[in-house]
Structure 1
Amino acid sequence: MSLIEHGGESDMVHHWSRDAWASVRANEPVTVAVYLAHGFELLALSSALDVFRLANKAAAREAFRWRTVSHWGEAVRASCGIVVAADADLAQERRYLQQLERPALALICGDEPDEGRETKVLSAWLRECRQRRIAIGGFGSGVAALAKAGMLNDRKCAIHWEELPAFKERFMRVEAAATVYEVDNDIWTCAGGTAAFDMLVELVKLNCGEPVAVNVGELAVAGRVRTGDERQRLPLLRQHGRINPTVVKLIELMQRNLATPLTMADLAAAAGLSRRQVERLFRNDLGRSPCRYFRELRLEHAKLLLAQSSMPVLEIAVSCGFVSASHFSRCFRETHQIAPHEARNLSAGRYLGV
């Protein structure tokens, strides 16, 4: 993927006055190195690169340039099967760190298998980038590569909601959240997918100014650009209309207390309402009681841990607030029509759909 060609783009019509454009900082191009691991998510990559392309178009200059990198310089197959060529191998990229071509930002798209040589070399490159004060970031599973390199210890990061339970168990020093994206000390992380678009529009705003960032959203026909602290989802709600803010607040409280289930008295006190009022809000908005919703939330958390971790069933039961493995197994079977140990033996695709 070579640098963007600008043919004809300088003639586009912008939506701001000359005074607004005069305030945009005319910096040197920001060079971005994007590392591709096999099985990376194409949607995240294309979302990111199109932000850079559209920023160049909106700014009518080369605000960003980028190159793709793989371990050996080989073409890399995405999870959807499409193969993407690499511009450089990791050895060359490490040499760039001492040259004018060094990047201002290194982004990791996908994660290498654990304990392999690729992981060790990738971690070494990331540490070198930090030593040279180069910003780093990751999309989706690429965030795990940053964590394995020790880059996220005692820092905030965004993780895809489906991967969050296992990630928290594995990297206990990392402050992981199911937000759209996080930026902590020049470390940019997002959940993957279209969250890469939202995150990098913020990068464009920092480097090119808000008018360019807004124009990128318009050119991409984005309904709106999300802020980093927005939730990726409200769990267990497949289709819903407007949710009462008090219900959202209580759901977030439940998510923070999965291991120590809250009582109706706790929920009512947190909302500043009576038990009956809290019950009515949940039944009106979600069609079930707060207690039932909380149990479903804990069981979903357990389902993700069973699929993504090797934790014993008893530990999963305790971490999800069940008093015993037998109680957990009974509740899990009632909800999913399958026992926890049987679910773990299924393939991930079949299991997550139970």
Structure 2
Amino acid sequence: MREGTNSTKSGPGQAPRRFVFVLMDSFTLLSFASALECLRIANRMSDKQLYDWTIIGDSEDMIACSSGSRFQIDGPLKELSRDDTVILCGGIDVHVHTTKRLLSWLRREARRGLPIGGLCTAAYTMAKAGLLEGKRATIHWENHDSFIEEFEEVDLTKSVFTMDGNRMTTAGGTSSIDLMLHIIAEDHDEKLANSVADQLIYSSIRTDQDTQRLSVPTRIGVRHPKLSQVIQMMEKNIEEPISPSILARDAGMSTRQLERLFRRYLSRSPKRYYMELRLQKARNLLMQTDMTVINVALACGFSSPSHFSKCYRAHYNTTPYRERGSQSSRLSV
């Protein structure tokens, strides 16, 4: 078992809280390391053994992260103590690495009442195991659309992290830090959590009310309120696209002004920009779900598969069917 660097215990009768990190194949290293470092630093700053941890997985010895580096685990999936907290670490191709054995193990530990959290894309695995039904959850924004299509019973948010009862999820990346700082503050106090953040040089601690994506102006590199307003309307209306004239009217401008605005700042027409948003969502659904091409087309506002295929090929230089086929071939290797 891996433990923190300081061997001093927190006091008589106060056993360290143990986290069990479950590494899935192709897990995101940043999410895992961010969470683990918070626990290590909390031990160091308190000069006590507040937290212990162990690392397991659905493997005999080694598990590779998404960057290819391999990690020695402490052991395979096993029955845990009732005082343990499970943290499932996901990454790319999470639907492929969500094995039947892992799902069975998660369901068994959940029935025993253990708190279970998921980092990055691991919310998918938790939902697949039935652990998030009727719960608030979050997942990396790139997997948001496919998650909604598959798990309608989950209250999916765009928060950096969520805590609903004994279920926790994060959006990936540095959001693991925010979750762990929240846990440390609840377990001990905000002073310790702030000390950990200071050691990490993490100056903007986020709460579960903060959203994971950058604002529209930051993402597009343009600060124009009406342009941002129109793009937000587009992003919220992918399945049933809004005409440029209605977009312009709702933003308080003429269609011609809207055209000029997009060409000036984004070098494309509103129609073209909207199409790219829809095709991006379509590609995510093709790569991350088992939805038929027809259903993907409908979910992205295309009235017919032929029109969808034509637009998709013009943008990605391949057809939706070939995209789906190449993804299946890659994952089967």
The alignment's TM-score, normalised by the length of structure 2, stands at 0.82
How many percent identity over aligned positions? 31
Q: Indicate how the Cα distance of structure 1 residues 328 and 92 shifts in structure 2: closer, same or farther if over 3 A, else same.
A: closer
Distance 1:240 1:283 in 2: 13
Shift of residue 230 of structure 1? 3.8
Shift of residue 165 of structure 1? 2.4
**Of residues 227, 239, 242 in structure 2, which corresponds to 1:259?**
239
Distance 1:213 1:40 in 2: 26
Match of 1:119 in 2: 103
SS at match of 1:162: helix
Distance 2:77 2:324 in 1: 36
Trace 1:176-187 onto structure 2 (pairs within 5 A): 176-187=156-167
Q: Indicate how the Cα distance of structure 1 residues 59 and 155 shifts in structure 2: closer, same or farther if over 3 A, else same.
A: same
Match of 2:253 in 1: 274
Task: Name the aligned partner's letter for residue 28 of structure 2.
Answer: E
Distance 2:17 2:230 in 1: 42
Distance 2:44 2:250 in 1: 49
Does the 8 A contact of 1:48 with 1:200 survive in 2?
yes
Match of 1:5 in 2: 5
Does the 8 A contact of 1:157 with 1:189 survive in 2?
yes
Does the 8 A contact of 1:182 with 1:228 survive in 2?
yes
Shift of residue 243 of structure 1? 3.4
CA-based RMSD: 3.3
Distance 1:66 1:213 in 2: 18
Distance 2:254 2:167 in 1: 43
Task: Name the aligned partner's letter for residue 162 of structure 2.
Answer: E
206-215 or 134-143: which moved more?
Answer: 206-215
Distance 2:181 2:228 in 1: 27
Q: Indicate how the Cα distance of structure 1 residues 45 and 304 shifts in structure 2: closer, same or farther if over 3 A, else same.
A: same
Does the 8 A contact of 2:5 with 2:40 survive in 1?
no
Distance 1:223 1:284 in 2: 36
Shift of residue 43 of structure 1? 1.9
Distance 2:42 2:225 in 1: 35
Does the 8 A contact of 1:157 with 1:177 survive in 2?
yes
Does the 8 A contact of 1:146 with 1:152 survive in 2?
yes
Match of 1:346 in 2: 326
Distance 1:328 1:234 in 2: 29
Distance 2:5 2:217 in 1: 43
Distance 1:185 1:246 in 2: 40
Shift of residue 329 of structure 1? 1.8
Does the 8 A contact of 1:33 with 1:67 survive in 2?
yes
Q: Indicate how the Cα distance of structure 1 residues 127 and 72 shifts in structure 2: closer, same or farther if over 3 A, else same.
A: farther
Match of 1:216 in 2: 196
Does the 8 A contact of 1:29 with 1:62 survive in 2?
yes
Distance 1:326 1:235 in 2: 34
Distance 1:297 1:234 in 2: 16
Distance 2:15 2:274 in 1: 51
Shift of residue 229 of structure 1? 4.2
Task: Name the aligned partner's letter for residue 324 of structure 2.
Answer: R
Residue ranges of structure 2 left out of the alignment (5+ in a row): 9-13
Query: How far does the alpha carbon of each residue in 1:247-273 deviate from its partner, in whole angstroms, 9 at most, with x for none?
Result: 4454343233211112235434554x2
Task: Name the aligned partner's letter for residue 328 of structure 1.
Answer: F
Task: Name the aligned partner's letter for residue 102 of structure 2.
Answer: E
Does the 8 A contact of 1:73 with 1:88 survive in 2?
yes
SS at match of 2:291: coil
Match of 1:58 in 2: 45
Q: Indicate how the Cα distance of structure 1 residues 2 and 335 shifts in structure 2: closer, same or farther if over 3 A, else same.
A: same
Q: Indicate how the Cα distance of structure 1 residues 51 and 339 shifts in structure 2: closer, same or farther if over 3 A, else same.
A: same
Match of 1:91 in 2: 78
Q: Indicate how the Cα distance of structure 1 residues 218 and 306 shifts in structure 2: closer, same or farther if over 3 A, else same.
A: same
Residue ranges of structure 1 left out of the alignment (5+ in a row): 9-26
The alignment's TM-score, normalised by the length of structure 1, stands at 0.77
Shift of residue 34 of structure 1? 1.5
Q: Indicate how the Cα distance of structure 1 residues 344 and 153 shifts in structure 2: closer, same or farther if over 3 A, else same.
A: same
Task: Name the aligned partner's letter for residue 264 of structure 1.
Answer: P
Asked if 1:197 corresponds to 2:181, the answer is no
Shift of residue 107 of structure 1? 0.9
